[in-house]
Chain A
Amino acid sequence: MRMTAETELLIKNGIVYDPINNVDGEVMDVCIRGGKIVDSVSAGAKVIDAKGKAVTPGKVECHSHMVGITPTSARILRPEDIRTRLNVSDGIRRAGGGRTVPTTWELGYEYAKLGFTRAYEAAVTPLYSREAILEFNRYPILNKGIFILFGNNWFVMDYLKSKEQDKLTAFVSFLLKSVGGYAIKIVNPGGNEAYKWNTEWNCHHADDPVPYFGVTPREIIKGLCIANEELGLPHSIHLHTNALGVPGNYEVTLDEINTTKGIAVGSDSGRVQNTHITHVQFNSFGGDDWSTFNSKADVIAKYINQNDHITADSGNVIFGDATTMTADSPAEWALYKMTHNKLISNDSEAEDGVGILPFLYSKKSPVHSVMWAIGLELELLTDPWKMFITTDHPNAGVFLDYPLIYSWLLSEKTRMEEAEKVHPWALKRTGLGGIDKEYSFYELVIATAAGPAKSLGVIKQEGHLSIGAKANVTIWDINPLEDDLSRDPRTDKFATTAYTIKEGEVVVKDGMVVNVPMAPLDVAHTHVDYEIQKVVEDEIKDKFKRYYTVQFENYIVDPDMYLTKADKIDVVSGKVHFIPCATQTEDVIK
């Protein structure tokens, strides 16, 4: 059940940072009633004294692998992971542990401790979305949503092959609704399908055709982007480009993001981009092979700065243990041939693939050091409204280490100290040494809260502290007006909030989880013309018998069984309507 009590909170004298409203470090009060920000509260309100503390909107995680079939397989693959971090139950928190692939409850608690109030699972195949939904229904504190993989779907490629854009749009609408998704994720478009034909095949660039279907990655990206804008989904397409992790792939990246230039945004959710390119660090490699490997972050950053149709997240490398998991199976296969670590390479029928492999980022490795530098370069050279901080958890690093990235961005001194500890290539093969920019606290709030909220299309509800917004507020034991963050980036203070407030409830206090509410899952409901919907559904039913091992009726996620705790984002002709679960499912709750 959601909180309905008219509890009142007054956050007094905090130093407020609210980039959406251009508030940069002003001392003011924030009033909360009934889970919303209001302009004033009564005298009986509970007071939190935030004098000398920063008050910011709750952070938004735009790309993370937390639940669903991939992390669950990784938990099975890596039983040793739970030995690195283990917490016993303390009456409020459940027992749990793990570092690169933590248990479900642990993820919610730890994200809330870092100040996050919303997180998105980045890759779920439609066939296995049930598991992700069930797991998300037991995922505490944070709001959440699921990105559904479309990039290698046979139906998508069939419709592109026959050039039926209207049917493709109807199919996207149908599938998102049927499996409880929030946005369109495209991973290595076409390449995973090629890999299924032969492990050494892939789509290496935007015009490399997919076997049998004959469509190219460029057509897939463009077709899905048009479908996305015709439907008016709150988030844009979420793109993981081809040739990930291959030296010289920056040209492919530029080529593919240029594909969607000029497609008009068809949603009023507040976003301005039509493509979000994800963990772009892995896609900004220069050179011809690993011996000439270098950074092309400056080229990518320049493109993103100059073009408004794109936002990105960084995918910073953090040295140490990681578990790479992605639907990009050919990339994982390449990693396996290099490391011979344990590998899961799986195929989800007519939809996509998956690869999982434990990986160690070493400071001694020249390539890993350059990758570390590329991530920071991208963030420092790009407008924070367009480049958000992620580690692509757990591919490039673990989300628990976000404070380390903040410290490298806030302080040139800390960054250069780290650069001296790693392989000299980190400075020789990149432009990191020549960048003296340091993030301000305000820019950090943009890159972690306001920017992602805007890009993900939730800006009407949250990501800021305007009157009427959801009261997702974090209070930090940091005084950016007085503390010199460039001298001491306060990594310990960024590791936990002083308070995390989720819709008016204090959930974290002084680094301890004190309250565990459950927040709903967001599901996008789109509408297309009834007749075309009917035609497409008939075609899907027909093909389903040939393509799938399951029956069509069992494929569709039953909303009454699985989505009773889901908020509906209803999109009618580009207008986003937010329908909270309490109003849709009153009978179920009774």
Chain B
Amino acid sequence: MNEIVLRPKDHTRVSLEAEVITPDNFAGKTLEEIENMMVYPGNRTVQLKERFDVSGSPCDTADDLRIIIDGGAPRLKRVGEKMSCGEIVVRGDIDMHIGAEMTGGKITVEGNADNFAGREMHGGLIHIKGNALNHVGGVARGGDKGMTGGKIIVDGDAGDNIGDFMYGGVIKIKGNVGQAAGHNLKGKGTIIIGGNSWSRVGVEAADGTILVKGKVHLSAASLGYGCIGKIVKNPELGGEVIEGEFYELRADMGYKPKAGRAKVYASVGENEHILPGGRTSSPRKGDMPPGRDMLPYLKIYHKEMIERK
């Protein structure tokens, strides 16, 4: 595989929009041509070479091209936008819109990613080894069609609104997530959360699946939790079997016609607080906020619960 290395020269506080950095754009160009491509710091236009040291071996086919951003670029936006093949490796942090609207290829971020990682992506793989902020695999402001395919893996935590308006694909977060994960989930999308999830999981979600291995926070807004109430063992999601027992719940807050048809799986071991009369076992600082007493119309099958105890 041929590699082109971009080494960031300096870190300014002004954001740099560089949607040209994709294997598709770099393929078939000489190093000099790549150096002369345009990027946008703030409201100005400069050449790529003013902000990056460019080296490596160019090649003609984007499939065989790997772009390495050698070092953190915490203000570099829109890298890999609309890429269809090849690979991008970021050796550090990256700013918003990494891999937005991408259709194929692979992006690896060794540091953290800012908001909108994999926004509206259609295919390919994004692997973020640090944390990601809000709207992972989500949709830009005001839109109503988010991620439709591909896979996003975040090894750390993620922020709010991950996978909003998602129509397909898989998002896998190994750590905790913020609130409203998978809100307005619409198609066959799958979100797997390794840690805890803050309130309002799957708000207005019409289809798809969200699995939470840790705690699900119960808030006044998440009224319909438990309206299915059965327990599933080792469900198969996103092409893999997930070990453990999970309550199959629904979260239906919302006024949209099909809201409430998505499934929310919440781990049996961690979620006693959502049972009738349940309370959080150990409210610690930094943990999930204390659970509330059960809402009166919650319909977990009591019999099954009693048998378990």
Contact = CB atoms under 8 A, between A and B. Distances in A.
Interface of A: 77-81, 83, 340
A84 B21 CA distance: 22
The 8 closest A-B pairs by CB, nearest first: A80-B142, A79-B142, A79-B141, A80-B143, A340-B256, A78-B142, A340-B257, A80-B140
A78 B141 CA distance: 8
Contacts of B144: 80
Contacts of B255: 340
Contacts of B142: 77-81
Given A78-B142, A79-B141, A80-B144, 12 more contacts: A79-B140, A79-B142, A80-B140, A80-B141, A80-B142, A80-B143, A81-B142, A83-B140, A83-B143, A340-B255, A340-B256, A340-B257
A477 to B, nearest CB: 33
Interface in B236-274: 255-257
A79 B256 CA distance: 21
A83 B142 CA distance: 10
Dominant secondary structure of chain A at its interface with chain B? helix
Contacts of A80: 140-144
A83 B100 CA distance: 14
Nearest to B45: A88
Contacts of B140: 79-80, 83
A340 B257 CA distance: 8
A181 to B, nearest CB: 32
Contacts of B256: 340
11 contacts: A77-B142, A78-B142, A79-B140, A79-B141, A79-B142, A80-B141, A80-B142, A80-B144, A81-B142, A340-B255, A340-B256
A67 B240 CA distance: 53
A340 B140 CA distance: 20
A83 B139 CA distance: 12
A190 B255 CA distance: 30
A79 B144 CA distance: 11
Interface string B14-36: 00000000000000000000000
B184 to A, nearest CB: 12
A205 B142 CA distance: 37
Interface of B: 140-144, 255-257
Dominant secondary structure of chain B at its interface with chain A? loop
A77 B144 CA distance: 13
Nearest to A76: B142
A365 B205 CA distance: 25
A77 B142 CA distance: 7
A83 B256 CA distance: 25
A82 B208 CA distance: 30
A79 B139 CA distance: 12
A223 B161 CA distance: 53
A292 to B, nearest CB: 24
Nearest to B145: A80
A78 B256 CA distance: 18
Interface centre among A77, A79, A81, A340, by most chain B C-beta atoms within 10 angstroms, is A340
Interface centre among B142, B255, B256, by most chain A C-beta atoms within 10 angstroms, is B142
A288 B144 CA distance: 34
A80 B142 CA distance: 5
B70 to A, nearest CB: 31
Contacts of A79: 140-142
Nearest to B259: A340
Contacts of A81: 142
Interface centre among A78, A80, A81, A83, by most chain B C-beta atoms within 10 angstroms, is A80
Contacts of A77: 142
Contacts of A340: 255-257
A488 B255 CA distance: 48
A73 to B, nearest CB: 13
Interface centre among A77, A79, A81, by most chain B C-beta atoms within 10 angstroms, is A79
B81 to A, nearest CB: 13
A77 B143 CA distance: 11
A151 B89 CA distance: 62
A79 to B, nearest CB: 4
A338 to B, nearest CB: 10
A467 to B, nearest CB: 48
Contacts of A83: 140, 143
A254 to B, nearest CB: 36
A77 B255 CA distance: 18
Contacts of B143: 80, 83
A362 B143 CA distance: 18
A340 B144 CA distance: 13
A334 to B, nearest CB: 16
Nearest to A78: B142
A81 B142 CA distance: 8
B235 to A, nearest CB: 31
A337 to B, nearest CB: 10
A351 B255 CA distance: 30
Nearest to A336: B255
Nearest to B255: A340
A491 to B, nearest CB: 29
Nearest to A80: B142
Nearest to A77: B142
A274 to B, nearest CB: 42
A412 B257 CA distance: 41
A360 to B, nearest CB: 10
A114 B195 CA distance: 56
A80 B257 CA distance: 23
A588 B142 CA distance: 43
Nearest to A82: B142
A437 B47 CA distance: 57
A305 B250 CA distance: 59
